[in-house]
Amino acid sequence: MSENGGFHAPTHAGGNMKKLELSLATIVLMCAATPRTFAQQAPGSFNARQGAVAELKEAQKELVSLAQAMPQEKYTWRPGEGVRSVAEVYLHVAAGNFGLTALTGVPGKPGFKFQGYEKSTTDKTQIIAQLTESFEFAENGITSLSDADLSKPVKWPQYPTVGDVVLHIVAHAHEHLGQSIAYARMNGIVPPWTAEQQQQIRQAPRPPQN
């Protein structure tokens, strides 16, 4: 969801965030270029639902690990005035997983409302729990859809079918994963998977020197 309420690429302040915005916008445009193709795959040729769930699981793994690596005191940090804080970005992703998935026709999360959700808490433990729950909700919801469901219409001109919404859920999660990586880097936090790779390289045996 944008700063004005819609689910679009966020507006960022400062030179670094301008570059991030352009990168994220490019990713979203690439993903959204042929949304109807996703919804109209021939049954058996490609399982769009399984592909979407696999991508969401990857985004979940990295976003949750970033959320765990960010110190509690950084959850209120934001790169500029009027831009989402660390906590608000994580909750924004959770809101997308809950709310957008419900648009596909699966039963919604009881009691969930978009309004005020992003600012509902800054507590690290609660946010990680909600982020994790939201991904599981989206993954289970998408898995429950049939191939025929992907072509059903949705009352959202930008994403006219269930399949288009499913694609947007995936793109939305990865868009804000990129934003969260930038937030972490700007606060001196190395993404955990990168830190692990660097550690493996340092520990790898060196070839004998002549």
Of 197, 164, 200, 202, nearest to 65 (Cα)?
Answer: 197
Does 199 fall in a domain? no
- In single-letter form, the type of residue at position 68 comes to Q
pLDDT, tens digit (0-9, with 9 covering 90-100), for 28-68: 333 333 344 444 445 445 689 999 999 999 999 999 999 99
Does 57 fall in a domain? yes
Please give the pLDDT value at position 203.
67
Please give the pLDDT value at position 41.
46
Q: What is the CATH number of the domain that holds 164?
A: 1.20.120.450
What's the total number of domains in the chain? 1
Does 24 fall in a domain? no
Does 6 fall in a domain? no
Does 83 fall in a domain? yes
Q: Is the pLDDT of residue 159 over 90?
A: yes
Please give the pLDDT value at position 197.
67
pLDDT (average), residues 188-201: 78
Is residue 111 within 8 A of residue 102, CB to CB? The reply is no
Q: How many percent of the chain have pLDDT more than 70?
A: 71
Q: Which domain holds residue 81?
A: 46-188
Please give the pLDDT value at position 38.
46
Does 179 fall in a domain? yes
What is residue 41's DSSP assignment?
P
Q: What is the mean pLDDT of the chain?
A: 82
Does 8 fall in a domain? no
Does 193 fall in a domain? no
Please give the pLDDT value at position 199.
65
Residue 138 backbone phi and psi in degrees, to 5: -65, -45
Which region among 33-42, 113-122, 144-153 has the lowest average model confidence (pLDDT)? 33-42
Please give the pLDDT value at position 202.
65
Please give the pLDDT value at position 193.
85
Q: Is the pLDDT of residue 123 over 90?
A: yes
Please give the pLDDT value at position 210.
63
pLDDT (average), residues 90-104: 97
Please give the pLDDT value at position 195.
65
Please give the pLDDT value at position 194.
78
Please give the pLDDT value at position 13.
40
pLDDT (average), residues 78-82: 96
